[in-house]
């Protein structure tokens, strides 16, 4: 249960990374080429025990534009365009399979977008079949798909379930009619409940619902009804996202009028209400935006200190190599990150020339690897055991992170962090500000890198 101090939330509200990677994506550069990516694939293949695989497929197409959306998506109803993209996505799979040794098994698979269920059921079945023939999928693999209840049929879900998918995630944002109209996403509560019932009837293991605060016309009173309805639906996981209004980065967000957005004070009150209601209802605060039931795998993994974080968010599969396929998708393998080409034509041209469609990437230094580990453990465990870090990396923790530890004094004074017996623990209130705490272990921010590119931490 949380007792949220809004004065502290206001004090530490600033831009900061979400740490789905370290270093974060803005540090990727175009000097990292497809050849370097291939070198790292070969290097990981040759490890004594090559990591198992996590696969991500980016399916960017949507039927309609949601004005709040920050995803890499394409609005189209042109089925020929979708078919052409699917052909090239398969080409990328074929090209990767030439380089990844066959005995590396898949333990996690995810489809994101866009809207993967903008594909029709036959296209879903076809892509699943192609992936299953291309990779060895372990029997207990976690397979998740993002869906949009609007336009979804039971046949879409049957195709996913028959193909091995066992987790579903869907956006709700807000059940309020006025808010839905303002963001161009009309999704009645009855529609969401019907789809959740289908998901459960078909035997999916888990369902996640996304809700979002900070949207036009929201108030603590109206959003409380959305939170209550979400709790009543009882999903296994709930993601509570903060809407970041950045029309200079996402032009379509200009369709939302700034004067219709809740004022900062109201927005913070909504966050406080939402967090307290969800935790009082029995959901466990996993970190960042995520809540899960006590019996959920994420909660268990966090309790056992096995939780991990990557570009797919919180995960129970640490130590895998993540291969992203499709435009804009990001991979995390070995000591590198890569991002695919963002434009369809350039993506197609690269594959026509049998070149891995890499636009940019990053190769981690030894310092990056140490800091990535510390930040990941902070984000997942809410604590750092100095001795365990020293044993892994052969450093003196207090010397290596002397600047970060000095900057913890303010967090300690505010009751957000405790340090004793060479162990840093984040308090329940500090967990809401974990990004702020993690930033002090970030070597790039320590070197005064620009933070204005990031969303606000609360």
446: pLDDT strictly greater than 60: no
Per-residue exposure over 357-371, b if at least 16 CB sit within 10 Å of its own CB, e if not: bbbbbbbbeeebebb
395: pLDDT strictly greater than 70: yes
What size, in residues, is the chain?
458
- Taking only the tens place, the pLDDT of each residue in 71-97 is 999 999 999 999 999 999 999 999 999
- Per-residue model confidence (pLDDT) at position 311: 85
- Per-residue model confidence (pLDDT) at position 18: 86
d(CA 447, CA 119): 45
Asked whether 127 and 156 are in contact (CB, 8 A), the reply is: no
Nearest partner of 413 among 1, 2, 11, 4, judged by Cα: 11
Nearest partner of 68 among 219, 220, 221, 242, judged by Cα: 242
Mean pLDDT of 429-458: 74
> Quick one: pLDDT band at residue 449, thresholds 50, 70, 90?
very low
d(CA 75, CA 170): 18
- Per-residue model confidence (pLDDT) at position 313: 84
d(CA 198, CA 193): 9
- Taking only the tens place, the pLDDT of each residue in 36-59 is 999 999 999 999 999 999 999 999
Asked whether 152 and 190 are in contact (CB, 8 A), the reply is: no
1: pLDDT strictly greater than 80: no
450: pLDDT strictly greater than 50: no
Mean pLDDT of 391-410: 97
CB-facing half-sphere around the CA of 75: CA atoms within 13 A: 6
Mean pLDDT of 256-272: 95
Upstream peptide bond of 73 is cis (omega within 30 degrees of 0) = no
Nearest partner of 362 among 115, 40, 77, judged by Cα: 40
d(CA 432, CA 287): 7
CATH 3.80.30.20 positions along the chain are 17-322
d(CA 169, CA 436): 28
Angle between helices 264-280 and 220-233 (to 10 degrees): 30
Residue 15 is classified by DSSP as B
Q: What is 1-16+365-458's CATH number, 1.10.10.920, 3.20.20.70, 3.40.50.720, 3.30.930.10?
A: 1.10.10.920
Q: What's the fold here for domain 17-322?
A: pyruvate-formate lyase- activating enzyme (3.80.30)
Mean pLDDT of the chain: 94
Backbone φ and ψ for 184, nearest 5 degrees, come out as 60, 40
d(CA 153, CA 270): 33
Specify the residue for token string 């974060």. 24
CATH 1.10.10.920 positions along the chain are 1-16+365-458
Q: Identify the weakest region by mean pLDDT among 13-17, 263-267, 413-417.
A: 13-17
Mean pLDDT of 266-279: 95
447: pLDDT strictly greater than 50: no
Percent of the chain with pLDDT over 70: 97
Rounded to two decimals, the pTM is 0.94
CA dihedral 249, 252, 254, 255 (to 10 degrees): -160
DSSP E strand stretches across 151-203? 167-173
- Taking only the tens place, the pLDDT of each residue in 165-222 is 999 999 999 999 999 999 999 999 999 999 999 999 999 999 999 999 999 999 999 9
- The radius of gyration computed from the CA coordinates of the chain, to the nearest angstrom, equals 22
Tokens of 372: 């990535």
Percent of the chain with pLDDT over 90: 89
- Per-residue model confidence (pLDDT) at position 456: 59
- Per-residue model confidence (pLDDT) at position 452: 44
- Per-residue model confidence (pLDDT) at position 455: 55
> Quick one: pLDDT band at residue 363, thresholds 50, 70, 90?
very high
- Per-residue model confidence (pLDDT) at position 4: 87
């Amino acid at each position: 249960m949380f007792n949220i101090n809004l004065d502290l939330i206001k004090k530490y509200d600033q831009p900061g990374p979400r740490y789905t990677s370290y270093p974060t994506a803005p540090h990727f550069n175009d000097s990292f080429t497809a050849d370097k990516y291939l070198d790292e694939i070969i290097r990981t293949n040759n490890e004594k025990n090559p990591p198992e695989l996590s696969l991500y497929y980016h399916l960017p197409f949507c039927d309609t534009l949601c004005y709040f959306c920050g995803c890499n998506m394409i609005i189209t109803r042109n089925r020929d365009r979708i078919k052409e993209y699917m052909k090239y996505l398969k080409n990328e799979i074929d090209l990767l399979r030439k380089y990844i040794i066959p005995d590396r098994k898949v333990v996690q698979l995810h489809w994101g977008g866009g809207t993967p269920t903008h594909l029709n059921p036959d296209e879903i079945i076809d892509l699943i079949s192609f992936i299953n023939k291309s990779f060895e999928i372990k029997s207990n693999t976690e397979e998740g798909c993002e869906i949009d209840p609007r336009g979804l049929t039971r046949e879409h879900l049957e195709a996913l379930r028959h193909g091995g998918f066992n987790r579903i995630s869907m956006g709700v944002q807000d059940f309020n009619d006025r808010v839905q109209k303002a963001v161009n996403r009309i999704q009645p509560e009855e529609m969401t409940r019907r789809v959740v019932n289908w998901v459960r009837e078909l035997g999916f293991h888990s369902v996640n619902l996304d809700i979002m605060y900070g949207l036009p016309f929201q108030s603590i009173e109206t959003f409380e009804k959305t939170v209550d309805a979400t709790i009543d639906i009882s999903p296994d996981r709930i993601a509570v996202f903060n809407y970041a209004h950045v029309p200079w980065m996402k032009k379509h967000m200009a369709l939302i009028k700034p004067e219709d957005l809740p004022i900062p004070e109201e927005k913070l009150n909504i966050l406080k209400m939402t967090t307290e209601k969800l935790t009082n209802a029995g959901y466990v605060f996993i970190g960042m935006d995520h809540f899960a039931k006590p019996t959920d795998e994420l909660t268990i993994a966090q309790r056992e200190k096995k939780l991990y974080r990557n570009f797919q968010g919180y995960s129970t599969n640490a130590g895998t190599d993540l291969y992203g396929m499709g435009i804009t998708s990001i991979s995390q393998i070995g000591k590198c990150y890569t991002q695919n080409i963002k434009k369809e034509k350039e993506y197609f041209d690269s594959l026509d020339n049998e070149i891995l469609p890499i636009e940019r990437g990053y190769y981690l230094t030894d310092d990056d690897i140490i800091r990535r580990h510390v930040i990941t453990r902070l984000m997942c465990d809410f604590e750092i055991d100095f001795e365990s870090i020293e044993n892994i990396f052969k450093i003196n923790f207090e010397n290596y992170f002397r600047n970060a530890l000095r900057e913890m004094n303010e967090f300690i004074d505010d009751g957000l962090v405790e340090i004793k017996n060479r162990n840093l623990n984040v308090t329940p209130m500090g967990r809401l500000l974990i990004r702020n705490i993690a930033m002090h272990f970030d070597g790039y921010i320590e070197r005064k890198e620009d933070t204005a590119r990031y969303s606000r931490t609360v």
